[in-house]
Structure formats: C-alpha cells, structure tokens
A and B are shown apart, each in its own frame.
Chain A
Amino acid sequence: MSVRQTLVLRVNDAEREVRPALHDTLLTVLRDELQLTGAKRGCNHGVCGACTVLVDGRPVRACLTLAHTCRGAAITTIEGVTGIADRLRSAFEDANAVQCGFCTSAMVLVAAALVAERPGASIEEIRTGLSGNLCRCTGYRKIVDAVCAVAQGTGR
C-alpha cells in the first residue's frame, strides 16, 4: 500500500489537515481530498497549465508539485483568490474571454500573479506570461485583452 502521512497545508488562508500518499501531487490533494476542483487535470505532466495554482504567490503546476513538499507554503486556488483576480474576473466576463472554462481557473491565477508583479504589463508581456497555459477554444485574443484591461487599468 502507498504510504500516507498527515500534512497540514495552508490553502486559501485556512489550515487544512490532509493525509495524502507521499507521491500524491498537490493537484490530487486539492481535488480529491479538499474538493477544490477548480484546478483541472488536463495532462498531468505540466504542459497544459490547467492545474496551475499559486504557491507563495507564484504560479506553479499543481500536477508537478508533490503535496508533501508544500508544507509551510501558502497555496491559493481559484476558489480563494481575490484582489486583482476579482478585477480579472470582471474583465474576462466583459471581454467574453471564457468559453469552455476548463483553462479559465488557471488563466485567472496566472494573470493575477502577472499583473501583481508587473502592473502596466504590455500585450507582449501578457502573451509571454500566459504562454504556458493552453486554451483550445478562444484563440487567446479575448483572454489577452481581458488581462490587458486590468494591467493597463482600462477595465471596469
């Protein structure tokens, strides 16, 4: 049997006790133990980006992060992110930047970190910053526009 160990994670500002297997990824724990299913499993090897969450404010792949290496870290998921993310939500809505929605949680989180780090980011910086998050529906234009509206303060 897989070895399980108790672990306290700080997720969305709350301490959560979980008991994952040693090889369980943060994505598995968020989804299967904490029912935070906003992070999606699209490929499980770090390419599609749909599982991206913030660890200590930085976007990382939850599918490539072992849960047991997250002790002490602050994890933020789409369910808990606020601040810039709320402005991004409005901008995504206004720009019609959401289609199927499977990439959306991660897009918002990556964009939130990007705008926090680089207020006033240019379109090229935004395109580069989002280049690790695949969207198969939108062609990205409206997503980039939504992030741009927040970065450059032209959104609502």
Chain B
Amino acid sequence: MSALKQVHFPKTPEEAARLLARGDGVRCLAGGASLVAMMNLDLVDPDELVSLAEVAELKGIASLPDGGLRIGAMTRHRELETEARLAGPFAVLREAAGKVANPPVRNMGTIGGVVALADPAADYPSALVAADAVIELASERGRRRVPAREFFVGLYATALAPAEIVSAILLPPAAAGVGLYDKLARVAGDHAIVSVALAVTRRPRGDLGVGLAIGGCGLTPVHRAEADVLLAAGALGDAAARRAGELLAAAADPLNDVRASADYRRLAIPRMVTRAVARAREELGRLG
C-alpha cells in the first residue's frame, strides 16, 4: 500500500526546496523515468512528492552573457540530444544525452533528475565530469555551485544537502574543441558496461585542455586529473592515451554484474580510451 499522501506542484526552486524540508519521506519528482520505476518496483515509497514540472525556471537552455550555457534541471534528454549549442567539447554531453535509455524515455527523463539520483550506471555523470560542468543547487538558503567533479560522491550519493534541489547545469563558454561519448552496452538503451566521456578544448595559445571520465565502472565517474594532463601533454597520442587509460582502469572500482565482469571492464577501459582519444585527435585535426 503506497504511503503517498500528497503531490506538490511548486512554482519556484526555492518553494520546491522548502517543500522538501517537510520530512525524510518527501521526494523530488522530475521526469519520473527513474523515480516512478522505483516506486513501481516498491524500492521507494515516498510520503510526499514535489513535482518540478511547473517550475518555469528549471526549463530550457539559456545562453549566458559570458557565452556559457545554463541548462535548466528539467531539460529533457531529448532536448539536449538535439541541442546545437552543445558543440565543441560539449558535444560530449549531447552524445551522452542521445545514449540515455531509449527515445520515449528521453522524452521524459531530465538532466537534473539523473544528476540528483547519481545512478553510477547513468550516462550524464561521466559526461559532465569530462566537460567540467558545474552543478547549480537551490535551497531556501539560496544558490550554490558545485563542480561536477566534486558533486558525485558515491552510490546514489551527491553533494546535495537535505532540502536542496539541482536547479541547473552550467557550462563555461564554448571553446574550439571536440567532445565525444563512447558507450559500450549489451543492447541499445541498456546501462553502460563501460562508457568513455572525453572533452578536448583547444585553448587560444594552442595547448589542449582535456577532460576524460569513465562511466559504468564504479560508484562515481572515474576521473583522474593526471590522466587529463597526460593526454594534453602527449597531444592525444596513442602512447599517452594508453597510459591515461591504464591509469583510469587502475583507478576504477567496477562491479561484477549481469552486464559484465569487473575484470572485463578494467580490460576494456584502456582500449576504449585509446580509441576515443584517437577519434578526438582526428576530429581535432579536421578542425584545422
């Protein structure tokens, strides 16, 4: 028997956050793609739901004055998948959005929902870490910003405080570069066995900024600044790619599950990283 007694439809992020403070059994409902599935399986049984469907501020993607992007938390995967402004290194996010579950679910699910849930098998976390995105959080105390690289802290665990919601994803001004997301899954729409998220920026001076993260291989996206530095210093060469890949494979803490063994994931990481880096190198070369 469901415990659900009330569904709220706040109009602002702050109001939503205030409602969340009503108790432990109050859950935030974004697109529903994950939460309702968990409710159907009796994995969660909230007392109250705070639907973000009518919070206007959370919708849509805005270009910021500095050239960056503000992606509202309720932006659906489908919108991101087709968003032309996610270009250059941020194509990593666009490609990841196009790999989330399947088309009808991409019409429902939202980036804020995925980020807040922090399912380690999800596609966005590694892409956001690679892109060095910033997560904006809202509460009655106001807004704060947490880099994606610090936001995902564990299995379904994030930097979100109680009574705080994800309000937006912030991307810095787009620079020239390449972003890509390579997902290995059993079939289309499944969670990744391994995913490789790579964002490469060519800085004005000509040197490279690299963000590389692995999904599906641990409780949080696997990211090591040393790997990014290696790749940048090695100009995305194969040797650097292999070393970066091995570094991340060593850093990963994958599971044995029905998708694949942990050993296989460790084996696949450097191989997939090498391929992704080679693809980025080629695409970067084509940029001139």
Contacts and interface: CB of A to CB of B under 8 A. Distances in A.
Contact flag (A, B; Cβ within 8 A): yes
Contacts, number: 89
A61 B101 CA distance: 12
Contacts of A61: 33, 104-105, 108
A3 B104 contact: no
Interface stretch (A10-18, A83-91, A93-101, A128-136): A128-136
A63 interface: yes
Interface stretch (B4-12, B149-157, B199-207): B4-12
A44 B104 CA distance: 14
B104 A21 contact: no
Contacts of B53: 69
A66 interface: yes
Contact of A131 (B2, B32, B102): B102
Contact of B103 (A22, A25, A131): A131
A58 interface: yes
Interface in A27-79: 44-47, 49, 52, 58-61, 63-66, 68-69
A5 B105 CA distance: 27
B103 A60 contact: no
B7 A69 contact: yes
A60 B36 contact: no
Contacts of A25: 36, 40
A46 B37 contact: yes
B1 A66 contact: no
A59 B101 CA distance: 14
A131 B105 CA distance: 11
Interface residues of A, number: 30
B173 interface: no
A132 B105 CA distance: 8
B39 A23 contact: yes
Nearest to B31: A64
Nearest to A67: B7
Contact of B108 (A21, A64, A110): A64
Contact of B189 (A23, A110, A129, A132): A132
A60 B2 contact: no
Interface in A78-129: 110, 128-129
Contacts of B189: 47, 131-132
B4 A46 contact: no
A154 interface: no
B233 interface: no
* 6 residue pairs, one from A and one from B, having the closest CB atoms: A132-B102, A23-B2, A45-B37, A59-B104, A64-B36, A23-B4
6 contacts: A22-B7, A44-B37, A44-B40, A64-B105, A69-B53, A131-B102
Interface of B: 1-2, 4-7, 29, 32-33, 36-37, 39-41, 49, 51, 53, 78, 101-105, 107-108, 188-189
Interface of A: 1-3, 21-23, 25, 44-47, 49, 52, 58-61, 63-66, 68-69, 110, 128-133
Given A59-B104, A133-B104, 13 more contacts: A22-B6, A23-B39, A25-B36, A25-B40, A46-B33, A47-B189, A49-B102, A66-B36, A129-B103, A131-B102, A131-B103, A131-B189, A132-B104
